[in-house]
Structure 1
Amino acid sequence: MSDSEEDEGFRYWFRWQVPICALMLLVSATTALMHITKTKPGPLSYNHLWIPSWRNLNPLWLLAYRALAFLCLVRIHFDSITLDGAFSFYFYTQWTFTLVMVYFALGTIVSAHGCWQLLKKPPLENGEMDEFLRRGLEDSMSTNSNGYKEKEIKGSIMLQNRYVAEEFNQIAGFWGYLMQITYQTSAGAVILTDIVFWGVIVPFLSISRFKLNMLMGCMHTLNAVFLLLDTALNNLPFPWFRFAYFVLWSCAYVIFQWIIHACGFTWWPYPFLELNTPWAPLWYFSLAVVHFPCYGLYSLIVKAKIMILPRLFPHSFLKSY
């Protein structure tokens, strides 16, 4: 074994940068895990997973879109693996692309199940349910002038309201929460992936072994396009606490890179992950910090959707969370 190979192997992990970067990685992962275990999320309604945010849009359209997006992602994923094999998973891009594909797979299954329930017994949407119960109460009150009767009818309507609300707001199960976690993790990872690729790698890190092609362009564009279109259609909440899953996702990738390099790999897919430079701690710290604006940007997109669309389309957009 030559000195250079030994330097890339055993001695590589005894540089002063390694424990500092490892500490930052450990703190990030531990903080995220503690945040997940201590935070008690609010209940997630099952119907938020498959009913669109547009009142007159049939859920079948959302199902069709998710199925189409999943098939397109599968085709691109297949082409990528065919071209590079298992080596494609060496990159964060492939990890993120696979995660987005998993989200659309879960979304298609959940939407199909919801539409199947809709065909069996169509549920009332939030706005329609409230309007139905309000009109029932007003009609009953107008036809009965006796105070005792009014109270009795009002109590009956309120009881009906509770039963209908309970039927409508079924709590999502394990797969529903998994879909929500995958959705929010994908959101942050997609923004991070595309910003780093188009803003750093393409203009500044073009090297002989890196050549931009149509497949790369699609993988770093359609992942965001499909997810943003789904966001425009879906009715999913976007709480900030699931930012922790995004952090864990990136930590898992970095740990994966460290493990395979400890096993003999010498080439890093991203130069800012290398540990043999005095700038490594600064790069790792910057990567940790950049997760906040990436996740925050997508959160702002969701908030803009909730704030702007009801004003532009007051009779079409259904705001239910």
Structure 2
Amino acid sequence: METALEWAGSSAVQAHTVLALSGLTSLYITIARPTIKLAADGSHTCPPASLYEAGTSPALSPVGMCLFRFAMAVYIFGMGATQYMRMGTYVFKFYTIWNWWLLGLYFTLAATASALCVLAESRANAKSRAASSAAGANGSNQPAATSPTANGTASGDVTKAGTAAPSSLQRATPLSRTCHALFMINSSTVIIVDAVCWGLLYPMLARGPQTPETQRIIKRLLLTFTSYNQHGLNALYVFADLFLNRHRLAFHATGPLGLWSMAYAVWAHVWHAKSGKWLYPFLDTSKPWAPVAYFGLYMVHWIAFGLVALLYRVKARIYGGGGNGSGGGGGKPHLVAAVASGAAAGQGKGKTE
């Protein structure tokens, strides 16, 4: 009995218990409120991640949004490839690098979604011009324009001209839902990576025993131009996209977010079992404060997601101020409605109206 109590009271068992419970919670949220696909009964349990929402912007044209995202994807993958050629597979041990490449994947898929929106709107405009020409040849004075549909207007799938987006863009697709899921994960993980790096990891390494390996990590992985991108400017890249895109805030994205971090936690334990070393000092389950550290890391995910939710509120206020002010103009009102409705949807239960 005493042995069992001693075993249950060990920091390693308690830390792993916290890890298991956080993983089960994330798995439950992911299954109960799926982000990438519909529920088994066909009900919408997440915001309608249509191609229009995934690929367009209330501030930039689809072409501008595509170019911005494509440039970010090239920059991120280019820097990642350069880092890999310089340091080898060693860098893929770290959570930062996992998230850096995940960020590049998001911008790649989001640029693809924007490119599809450019093509769809080009085709729709070509058909509209052809119909207008045909109507003119027949002596009709009525232009052949597409009117906003109830579905398009309600969901925010409206172009800057106030007309409904092409029907091909109003559908939810695996690409659009994946873009939405990846964006919600990245928008939280950049906060986690940056806060943990400079608020926890760097102080622990700088104040701990200065072994050659510790000094190498600090000089080669933290205090470099690449590190400043991966532990600071990464947030700028994601939040620039946040204030430009139409992705809606979705509470249930905390599920995939938790599972993503859980996947790395499993990898970190595999690495420790193989090498006998922990990738990060705060993952060491032999320390007496390990249960608190693991619980704190779990709570950091919720705090980060809460900060993203606050940024969505700021976004809604910015677009709302622009639309209500004297200098709004340029079709702002319907854009404000789209952004505000997205923020409101995320602040609620996350279900489709």
Relative to the length of structure 2, the TM-score reads 0.71
Report the alpha carbon displacement of residue 270 of structure 1 after superposing the two structures with TM: 1.3
Which of 252, 256, 262 lines up with 1:245 in the alignment?
256
> Residue 71 of structure 1 corresponds to which residue in structure 2?
74
Distance 1:160 1:287, change over 3 A: closer
Which of 287, 291, 296 lines up with 1:281 in the alignment?
291
Q: Output the amino acid matched with 2:215.
A: S
Q: Output the amino acid matched with 2:296.
A: S
Deviation sequence 1:275-314 (CA, Å, 0-9, x none): 1211111111111111111111122112210123221344
Distance 1:166 1:205, change over 3 A: same
User: Is the aligned partner of 1:121 residue 2:124?
Assistant: yes
Report the alpha carbon displacement of residue 161 of structure 1 after superposing the two structures with TM: 5.2
After TM superposition, the structure 1 = structure 2 runs for residues 128-167 of structure 1, keeping only pairs within 5 Å, are 167=167
> Residue 197 of structure 1 corresponds to which residue in structure 2?
197
> Residue 231 of structure 1 corresponds to which residue in structure 2?
242
Paired with 1:270 and 1:160, the residues of 2 have a C-alpha distance of 53
> Residue 138 of structure 1 corresponds to which residue in structure 2?
none
Paired with 1:159 and 1:289, the residues of 2 have a C-alpha distance of 43
Q: Contact 2:56–2:62 (CA<8 Å) still a contact in 1?
A: yes
Which 4+ stretches in 1 moved above 4 angstroms? Answer: 157-166
User: Is the aligned partner of 1:33 residue 2:27?
Assistant: yes
Q: Highest relative contact order (Cα 8 Å, sep 6+), 1 or 2?
A: 1
> Residue 275 of structure 2 corresponds to which residue in structure 1?
265
Q: Contact 2:52–2:170 (CA<8 Å) still a contact in 1?
A: yes
| Aligned-residue identity in percent | 26
Relative to the length of structure 1, the TM-score reads 0.78
Deviation sequence 1:144-199 (CA, Å, 0-9, x none): xxxxxxxxxxxxx9997569689376222111111110000011111000111122
Secondary structure, in 3 states, of the residue corresponding to 1:208? helix
Distance 1:20 1:240, change over 3 A: same
User: Is the aligned partner of 1:87 residue 2:97?
Assistant: no
Q: Output the amino acid matched with 1:214.
A: F
Distance 1:53 1:285, change over 3 A: same
**Structure 1: gaps of 5 or more residues:** 1-12, 124-156
> Residue 41 of structure 2 corresponds to which residue in structure 1?
none
> Residue 23 of structure 1 corresponds to which residue in structure 2?
17
Distance 1:274 1:242, change over 3 A: same
Q: Output the amino acid matched with 2:309.
A: S
Paired with 1:216 and 1:194, the residues of 2 have a C-alpha distance of 10
Paired with 1:109 and 1:158, the residues of 2 have a C-alpha distance of 27
Report the alpha carbon displacement of residue 205 of structure 1 after superposing the two structures with TM: 2.3
Q: Output the amino acid matched with 1:29.
A: G
Alpha carbon RMSD of aligned pairs, Å?
A: 2.6
Report the alpha carbon displacement of residue 236 of structure 1 after superposing the two structures with TM: 1.1
Q: Output the amino acid matched with 1:259.
A: V
> Residue 315 of structure 1 corresponds to which residue in structure 2?
329
Q: Output the amino acid matched with 1:205.
A: L
Paired with 1:253 and 1:178, the residues of 2 have a C-alpha distance of 20
